[in-house]
Amino acid sequence: MSLLTNLRSYFIRFKLALTNPRKRSRIYNKYLGIRIGSGARLLGKIHFGSEPFLIEIGDNVTITHGVSFVTHDGGVEIFRKEFPGINVFGKIVVGNNVFIGIKSIILPGVTIGSNVVIAAGSVVTRNIPDNVVAGGVPARVIESINEYKTKCLENAV
What does the DSSP assignment read for the chain? Answer: --HHHHHHHHHHHHHHHTS-TTTHHHHHHHHH--EE-TT-EE-S--B--S-GGGEEE-SS-EE-TT-EE--B-GGGGGGTTTSTT---B--EEE-SSEEE-TT-EE-TT-EE-SSEEEPTT-EE-S-B-SSEEEETTTTEEEEEHHHHHHHHHHH--
Residue 50: pLDDT band with limits 50, 70, 90? confident
CA distance 101 to 5: 30
Q: Kindly report the number of other CB atoms within 10 A of residue 154's CB atom.
A: 7
Residue 156: pLDDT band with limits 50, 70, 90? confident
pTM of the model as a whole: 0.82
Instruction: Give me the pLDDT at residue 56, please.
Output: 96
CA distance 2 to 11: 14
Residue 49: pLDDT band with limits 50, 70, 90? confident
Residue 110: pLDDT band with limits 50, 70, 90? very high
Instruction: Give me the pLDDT at residue 23, please.
Output: 65
Residue 25: pLDDT band with limits 50, 70, 90? low
Radius of gyration of the chain (CA): 17
pLDDT (mean) for 24-30: 67
Residue 157: pLDDT band with limits 50, 70, 90? confident
Q: Among 18-27, 56-65, 117-126, 130-139, which stretch is predicted with the lowest mean pLDDT?
A: 18-27
pLDDT (mean) for 33-40: 89
Using CA atoms in the order 129, 132, 133, 139, what is the torsion angle rounded to 10 degrees? -20
Domains, the chain: 21-155 (2.160.10.10)
Instruction: Give me the pLDDT at residue 34, please.
Output: 86
pLDDT: which is higher, 85 or 124: 124
CA distance 121 to 8: 30
- CB contact at 8 A, 104 and 124: yes
Enumerate the β-bridge partners of residue 93: 56, 111
Q: What is the pLDDT of residues 113-151, one digit of tens each?
A: 999 999 999 999 999 999 999 999 999 999 999 999 999
